[in-house]
Structure 1
């Protein structure tokens, strides 16, 4: 496993880190109302989350996003690890987009105005998959 990110991997890692880290930090002090909103939306797409307390859910989500943002930001975290974590997180966001009513136009993947913010997170999935596929491809070459 490569110890340092390659120079060309830094711009997408930094772009993703800026968004994910900012979101995680902003969520750190989520009040009960915001936590309930986040939790409610997540439960609509992922019903198993309904067993969690909304404030605890927001706290864990905030910590996970902050940790992911830092992992992307720090170049000595291997790109395979950072990319896999970003792919998992972004996959959850894309799943939220696909499963939440009102986010997409009827019979389409195109977003509604309400879904545009989440639909744009597909670029995070692309960055994560790009990092993972590059690292796996390089392993196959060895």
Structure 2
């Protein structure tokens, strides 16, 4: 990978990686009340998650955030892979935002005051997609896909 590609990708990877890693580390110390709140919101949007015990769910989310944040901050992790992880993670958060009543204007993608903290995940989704597109369209990405 060229130095220019690494430099071009660095700001988005550093900002989102540090943000997600910090969030994950904070959740590792989460108490029962935090676990119940996070699990309740997630299970409300994705009913299949309701069968998981809330404290265990919080630990899974925390471990996932630590792993994703670390991958974004580690330059040897390919941009396409890091971008796919980021897009998947933030996409699931955006799905939760869309499915949770009161988070956006009815039938419109405009966040309410309550939904604004979660709606910001659109920026992480865009960075993830950008990393994937950049990896696909760079000379290195085209050469690998031609093999």
TM-score under structure 1 length normalisation = 0.93
CA 1:130/1:31 → structure 2, altered by over 3 Å: closer, same or farther?
same
Give the whole-Å Cα distance in 2 for the aligned partners of 1:85 and 1:121. Answer: 13
1:65-112 deviations in whole A, cap 9, x for unaligned?
011001001111111111111011010011011110000012311000
1:42-81 superposed matches below 5 A: 42-81=42-81
Richer in helix (by share): 2
Residue aligning to 1:10? 10
> What are the ranges of 5 or more consecutive residues in structure 2 without an aligned counterpart?
none
Stretch of structure 1 that moved more, 29-38 or 2-11: 2-11
CA 1:96/1:15 → structure 2, altered by over 3 Å: closer, same or farther?
same
Residue aligning to 1:28? 28
Q: How many residues align?
A: 141
Residue aligning to 1:109? 109
Give the whole-Å Cα distance in 1 for the aligned partners of 2:133 and 2:27. Answer: 30
Stretch of structure 1 that moved more, 129-138 or 94-103: 129-138
Check conservation: 1:36, 1:54, Cα contact below 8 A. yes
1:24-72 deviations in whole A, cap 9, x for unaligned?
0110011111101000000011110011010000001001001100100
Check conservation: 1:3, 1:77, Cα contact below 8 A. no
Across the aligned residues of Structure 1 and Structure 2, the Cα RMSD in angstroms comes to 1.7
SS in 2 for 1:6: helix
The question of 1:126 aligning with 2:130 is answered: no
TM-score under structure 2 length normalisation = 0.90
